[in-house]
Amino acid sequence: MITRRTALLGAAVATLLASTPALAADDLKLPRQSVELVAPPFVHAHEQATKEGPKIIEFKLQIKEKEVVIDDAGTKFQAMTFNGSMPGPMMVVHEGDYVEVTLINSDTNTMPHNIDFHSATGGLGGGALTHVNPGEQVVLRWKATRTGTFVYHCAPEGMIPWHVVSGMHGTVMVLPRDGLKNREGKPLRYDRVYYIGENDLYVPKDENGKYKSYETPGEAFADTTEVMRKLIPTHVVFNGKVGALTGKNAMTAKVGETVMIVHSQANRDTRPHLIGGHGDYVWETGKFINPPEKDLETWFIRGGSAGAALYTFRQPGIYAYVNHNLIEAVELGASAHFKVEGEWNNDLMKQVKPPGPIPPGKSSALEAPVAR
């Protein structure tokens, strides 16, 4: 028997059914594109400029708590990561696109996590809407209204800095739809892009001065916080460990190629420098609406931001790319290498005479006269 109540219920269900698909995914009538993320220093394939209209770009971030080795001495560290890498992957979209991120906290993890996008507007950058416990996932969408390179990081209440310095940070690059420009409005392009995420690490030591290891992130929390509060990192690394980007892990390029280097530091100031090269064009603050600076020797990345530099390699060889606090570079780990192939240019640099003994009798003649 159909009563008035069942009829009303039926109508309600019918309304719900009719409206559900629209609510589910298609409240925005835009094309969708799913992007497979890759581990840094590499960046997923993307267009530098686009003639297409805005899209919804879908990304998947899998949170992975894992033990990693952070130096040549085999020091173990309880890392917390997006997609298993420190930093997490770089995501590239264009201005006006919608970024739709599925954040997955698998039940093998032990901690709640979330994500704060510096490129997003409102809701603690998404942090307020993405809190997931182990065994949960969440989908967040935000509109890319500003161009530039922006940090994202985990920001769970009560343990924000700890999650950030444990590895939970990465970068979003929002490109202008018509591509990058120089100060005069001329297009700038790159042949390769590398993403370097710098990470200060605070590893507790035992009473003999040896680095301690722990079974889980939670076990390391109290000791690590004590080291963190002194603000003296035990390691400063590029891409998760000392040597992650040196020697056989060097980034590569060819003479004549223009390389974009995106450098992020989610917690602490840093100052990248390419030894033997320059920043031809540098967006020090990473925001492309501001004209790039030219010909920099060293640039400054504010803690909590990502910057971008373009350099066209003009000589072959091994270039060190360092944090030019050289103690942090050499003693604590903040060094990378570029291996560049091509022809040496004698006009730019030439060893006129190789090192040899000072010719006898000449040395005193060449010395500057001493004032008396």
Q: Which residues are catalytic?
A: 113, 116, 118, 153-154, 163, 168, 273, 297-298, 324
Which of 94, 153, 163, 337 touches Cu ion by CB under 5 A? 163
- 15: part of which helix (H) or strand (E)? helix 4-24
Asked if 169 is part of the footprint of Cu ion (rule: CB under 5 A), the reply reads: no
Closer CB to Cu ion, 64 or 163, in the complex? 163
Closer CB to Cu ion, 163 or 278, in the complex? 163
Asked if 64 is part of the footprint of Cu ion (rule: CB under 5 A), the reply reads: no
Using CA atoms, how far apart are residues 142 and 245, in angstroms rounded to an integer? Answer: 32
Which of 37, 144, 154, 336 touches Cu ion by CB under 5 A? 154
We find the least distance from the C-beta atom of residue 137 to Cu ion, in angstroms, to be 14
Stretch that binds Cu ion, among 67-75, 113-121, 176-184, 228-236 (CB under 5 A): 113-121
Asked if 168 is part of the footprint of Cu ion (rule: CB under 5 A), the reply reads: yes
CB atoms under 10 Å from CB of 157, counted, come to 11
Phi, psi of 252 (to 5 degrees): -120, 155
How many helices (H) and strands (E) are present in the chain, helices listed first? Answer: 5, 21
Closer CB to Cu ion, 113 or 263, in the complex? 113
How many chain residues are in contact with Cu ion, going by CB under 5 A? 4
Q: Which of residues 212-251 bind Cu ion (CB under 5 A)?
A: none
We find the least distance from the C-beta atom of residue 217 to Cu ion, in angstroms, to be 9
Q: Are 37 and 44 in contact (CB under 8 A)?
A: yes
Q: Are 117 and 88 in contact (CB under 8 A)?
A: no
Q: Are 87 and 167 in contact (CB under 8 A)?
A: yes
Using CA atoms, how far apart are residues 156 and 78, in angstroms rounded to an integer? Answer: 17
Closest residue to Cu ion, Cβ-based?
A: 154
3-state secondary structure of 252: strand
DSSP 70-110: -STT--EEEEEEETTBSSPPPEEEETT-EEEEEEEE-TT--
Closer CB to Cu ion, 113 or 278, in the complex? 113
Q: Encoding tokens for residue 270?
A: 């840093």
The strand pair at 235-238 and 192-201 is best described as antiparallel
Q: Are 181 and 187 in contact (CB under 8 A)?
A: yes
We find the least distance from the C-beta atom of residue 334 to Cu ion, in angstroms, to be 23
We find the least distance from the C-beta atom of residue 158 to Cu ion, in angstroms, to be 11
Stretch that binds Cu ion, among 7-15, 25-33, 165-173, 300-308 (CB under 5 A): 165-173
Closer CB to Cu ion, 86 or 154, in the complex? 154
We find the least distance from the C-beta atom of residue 66 to Cu ion, in angstroms, to be 13
Closer CB to Cu ion, 113 or 314, in the complex? 113
Phi, psi of 260 (to 5 degrees): -95, 130
Which of 113, 241, 268, 278 touches Cu ion by CB under 5 A? 113
Chain residues in the site for Cu ion (CB under 5 A): 113, 154, 163, 168
